[in-house]
Structure 1
Amino acid sequence: MTTAALEPRAGRRCNTLLNSLHAIHYFSPELSEELGALGVTHRRAVNFAVRAAAFGPVGAGTVTATFYNYKHELVARHVPAVWEIASPKDVLAARTRAVDASMRRLLGADVVASGAMAEAARLALRGAEACSRPGRPLYSAHADLPVPEEPHLAYWYAGTLLREHRGDGHLAVLAGAGLDGLEAVVTHTATGKGMNPKWVFATRGWSQDDWDAAVERLRERGLLDAAGEPTGAGVALRAEIEAETDRLDRAPYEHLGADGVARLTELSAGFAGAAVAAGAFPADLMGKG
């Protein structure tokens, strides 16, 4: 293990790329096809089912709490009803097939079978060894699942563990900052790095009225200005949130070491870049709109 010091944001950069690889399946036609074959056809039901299946047949309350930025009424329209259509076990198997097919399509068979992919899997799994369960429900549920044998699926799985580990910590920080689910999205979008409002409305269940009300609450707190742009206080709060999230998520990357993190970041950047170039995500997914 390297003795070089880990840069403050090295883990964040690495996790951002791993998160990109995790997220490709949410937008893949393969996922819709696999879940559709089980009878789950509504796009939102597909999303809730594949991410929550590791919990078992939970109710809407668990999904709303752990996903954080979805409107509860939207979640409740599909959960727990989705488990009457397909069991969590069948959903997880379908998800694995969809991830396999989408990675092969977006990255190519040679990349999937490459030594670089096997190396990335080893590094990501090593980092995940230092993840902690307490207070991390989505990470802990996924950590109960078996590690896939094929390297590209093991890489995706380890990336999912690291993604959910950071995400669970991030939600605790958001709650501590007094931001509800929609306010967290609005402040992130205001930075120019978050999801386009069009996609928030389409995927999270919020309306324009909900969004406008959240903007007004944030203005009253002095976090957004009259134009909806972040104030100095708003910029500072988002920076504090990310820094505290980094602190809570430092263990996996310290365990992996600076050299290991740098190499995993390099490999993941190549995979993520190839997936984006192949059209893994909608062109208008991010930004202020």
Structure 2
Amino acid sequence: MTTSPLPERAGRRCHTMLNVLHSTHYFSPDLERELAAVGVEDSRAAYFAVRAAAMGPVSAAVVTATFFNFRPELVARHVPAVWETAAPAVVLAARTRAVDATLRRLLGEEVTAAAAEVAEAAELALRAAEACTPVARPLYAAHAQLPVPEEPHLALWHAATLLREHRGDGHLAALLAAELDPMEALVSHTATGKGMAPQWALGTRGWQRDDWDAAARRLRARGLLDGEGELTDAGVALRRELEAETDRLDRAPYEHLGAEGVERLTELASGLTGRALAAGAFPAGMVGKG
């Protein structure tokens, strides 16, 4: 039960720290190794597989819809063919091995295997996830059916995944309400300086520069982007409203955990995130406008 009011954006800050921990495996050589061992050698196929596997052997259309900002043709190049190479259960097991290796490498054996802080963070994050709801949240709902790992660092990663997908599913609802299509969402997010740099967004999402430029023109026509590719005042306001609406849709787990619990979980996750970043968890130049 909440013992004091939850500060504004406290849930968002907590999610941000946990999401870093969740996301480390996407850029990990351990994931590449484990997926290659079960026959999935293409990095894009590996990403689609590990994130979608909880939903079962779904179609390209389902992956495109739930992932939102990938070019449909890119998804169709790998899905559903990837399930013929490695069934979802095989992919999930490979992902768990990769996450285990990644966190041990980035955080250190003592942190992942024995630290009381990791166990405390896992307990808090799992408690927050108790209040997540599956309605209209397909990626969260699929992951919520998976068992909670016994090892504290894997339990923490599992809880971070639940909270990440819960917020992400809600964010897509906010994007739809704002009438932003996948490319417009990418371009406007990059313009905030907090999204992926254009070369990363294009390279990983399968879009072409022409797609990016066309989305920018549409945003300019709506008065959201200026001629230099910067957000206008209206664009800044829209992106702020999007995050506020996402916060509103995602408030339940953090209100359930309470202000003190959220503050403590954010503190613990921040320390672990700092270790991961210092260990080179992400490629240089991935975030920003350049």
Q: Same fold (TM over 0.5)?
A: yes
TM-fit CA distance, 1:37: 0.4
TM-fit CA distance, 1:3: 1.1
After superposition, give the CA deviation of every residue in 1:79-102 in whole Å (9 maximum; x if it has no partner).
000000000000000000000000
Q: In 2, Cα distance between the equivalents of 1:61 and 1:13?
A: 32
TM-fit CA distance, 1:271: 0.5
Q: Which amino acid aligns with 1:170?
A: H
CA RMSD between the two structures? 0.6
TM-fit CA distance, 1:249: 0.3
After superposition, give the CA deviation of every residue in 1:31-52 in whole Å (9 maximum; x if it has no partner).
0000000110111000000000
Q: In 2, Cα distance between the equivalents of 1:234 and 1:85?
A: 43
TM-fit CA distance, 1:2: 4.3
Question: Which portions of structure 1, spanning 4 or more consecutive aligned residues, are displaced by more than 2 angstroms?
Answer: none
Q: Name the counterpart of 1:280.
A: 281
Look up the SS of the partner of 1:101 in the other structure. helix
Q: Which runs of structure 2 are paired with 1:8-19 in the superposition (5 Å)?
A: 8-19=8-19
Q: Name the counterpart of 2:62.
A: 62
Q: Name the counterpart of 2:50.
A: 50
Q: In 2, Cα distance between the equivalents of 1:13 and 1:215?
A: 29
Gaps of 5+ in 1: none
Q: Which amino acid aligns with 2:66?
A: T
After superposition, give the CA deviation of every residue in 1:201-232 in whole Å (9 maximum; x if it has no partner).
11100111110010001000100001110001
Q: Name the counterpart of 2:247.
A: 246
Q: In 2, Cα distance between the equivalents of 1:273 and 1:206?
A: 32
TM-fit CA distance, 1:8: 1.7
Look up the SS of the partner of 1:222 in the other structure. coil
TM-fit CA distance, 1:176: 0.8
Q: In 1, Cα distance between the equivalents of 2:60 and 2:10?
A: 35
Q: Name the counterpart of 1:92.
A: 92
After superposition, give the CA deviation of every residue in 1:100-123 in whole Å (9 maximum; x if it has no partner).
000000000111120000000000
Percent of aligned pairs with the same amino acid: 70
1:77 aligns with 2:116: no
1:136 aligns with 2:137: yes
After superposition, give the CA deviation of every residue in 1:140-173 in whole Å (9 maximum; x if it has no partner).
0000000001010000000000000000000000
Q: In 2, Cα distance between the equivalents of 1:263 and 1:3?
A: 14
Q: In 2, Cα distance between the equivalents of 1:146 and 1:98?
A: 17
Q: Which runs of structure 2 are paired with 1:153-164 in the superposition (5 Å)?
A: 153-164=154-165
Q: Name the counterpart of 2:125.
A: 124
Q: Which runs of structure 2 are paired with 1:31-42 in the superposition (5 Å)?
A: 31-42=31-42
Q: In 2, Cα distance between the equivalents of 1:182 and 1:133?
A: 26
TM-score (norm 2): 0.99
Q: In 2, Cα distance between the equivalents of 1:168 and 1:124?
A: 18
Question: How many residues are paired up?
Answer: 289
TM-fit CA distance, 1:69: 0.6
Kept after mapping to 1: 8 A contact 2:2/2:256: no
Kept after mapping to 1: 8 A contact 2:2/2:255: no
Q: In 1, Cα distance between the equivalents of 2:249 and 2:192?
A: 22
Look up the SS of the partner of 2:246 in the other structure. helix
Q: In 2, Cα distance between the equivalents of 1:2 and 1:229?
A: 40
Q: Name the counterpart of 1:192.
A: 193
